[in-house]
Structure 1
């Protein structure tokens, strides 16, 4: 077996699935705040567009996607970010964002040039930035995100010698797992640094549409050359199981992706593209989803304030990044919550594998994802309050 795969720790969400199955066998009612897969129903218009687009004859889709889908994406980007994109040259559909993020280094990491093969990303992080790098033969370089920096990746604090060896920088704002946000001045600063060192800036923007107090910008608003952004309908429209999104930006980079992605088998089925076109063309269902998450967010803000749990105030995303109560390790607190059926993700799940291997990963935080229904959240709060009082007494 490939040593890269052998040496990877289990994917965090798969480990959570194993824990949940064990709880089910014990008859414990589960309140699952572990995996970012919301349960809100898919909008009826989107479902109908899928049904109406299933044909009697099935043929291979194209990796460049349907023109009408690319046009609908370009229209959405123009309305949302006031950025003009050429639907024929600057947009390519993807099967959600995970596969696009994972495959990106396979296109741009040249193993014949090891002196320019580092990939920088912040940690805690979505695990796929590191894993895609490893599979492509690149060198992951996780940079610790700190509370005093508002969990922003600070490239200005990275050594010049490291930046000179870097091919790709990943940023992700609004951020998973912390929920941190970045303003336009931050995006300008980090883009300027990547330009100086001839680095491809990749901005994972899957959570820009789940916002409450702050409307997040896009990196498309600050630059073009050596820049790619990644968007998805998984969070915006709740299409996690449909797998659809897009990559947009520098035409030269998009052209190179078109060449490589035709080898990966990632062309999106035609009927899913039809659903995506419908979703990108409609904002009403997105506004409704935001209000659902706002209601759940406000419920937990009230609860955490009541019991004295510290957290990063989420201006966007449906995540809370919560500090473990004093006197307990995160592992101890999370394990105790499991006894009551409360499933959360410990911060170590979002550490880079390199950190864990070198025993550099310690986290005083855990993440919850507001994925249960509001009614389930109400019940969970009561259970959690009882559990918390018994754990910390």
Structure 2
């Protein structure tokens, strides 16, 4: 895996890069649509690629481990062949699911014992078993197993959690070094920088991961309840330490504004369920602001969903028609809104790349942020 920085912004830490994987190149900064079960909800892979213009997607180790299971994934020849997504892919380790399913988990040095949210069956994730599972899935980028503490965790808890994550991280890289890819393409392993909202813990975690000389580094445990400004401050602490020449991935973030703020602070990769989840609930992101298409005001608005959009749904369908579909709970409403939102996120990061290369990113970003959170 190779990462090359092509342009830097003179007024911020933003940069344009290219990440080269065995399944193709990815220009950064980039947004990765979330395909939890090896599918972006409600959207054909064809449209994720050709209409939204996504180049890399994310799948989740926890969910694929439970369904369909590694026997099926391996028999298919890995997640790329199983899903027919032929571009780059990243797998989360399941660490966030450990956090979000806290009611049915038990953490020890060994790993995490939990019960399936599907049928209540008991399971154990260890650093070693997670690496083995990610090898079986076969994504181009694998994430190390970690614990994700809540954003308001007390310092003692955050420190103990980081201790555990760092012990697990050693074991992840030991297992990674002793195993090989199963499907003939290279797999990178990214460590995750934790530390909650405590600058000294974040700094310690960022310095600790440098020992692995990884292909890239992830920043985890943000956008989990802490104030937005605190999140931005933690990104700055971490990115001041992480290598400039390696890609940085901010996990699970976030709103369009969050993404632009992250880019300004030197983040290269983003993912979030917000475009599809919010789309299924009738919320549309546009460069002029946020539309709640459920609102009665759109019922007789026959203008295109987004005249500036790049996906076919943006100019083919009207706001009035989408409002009607949402009110009727028609399945097509979620498909249209989800594709629109994913395409908007990809268009936003593409615009960021253009303005970084042009040298006017800071001014463009300031103007964009002023609009993106407006309620239309």
TM-score, length-scaled by structure 1: 0.29
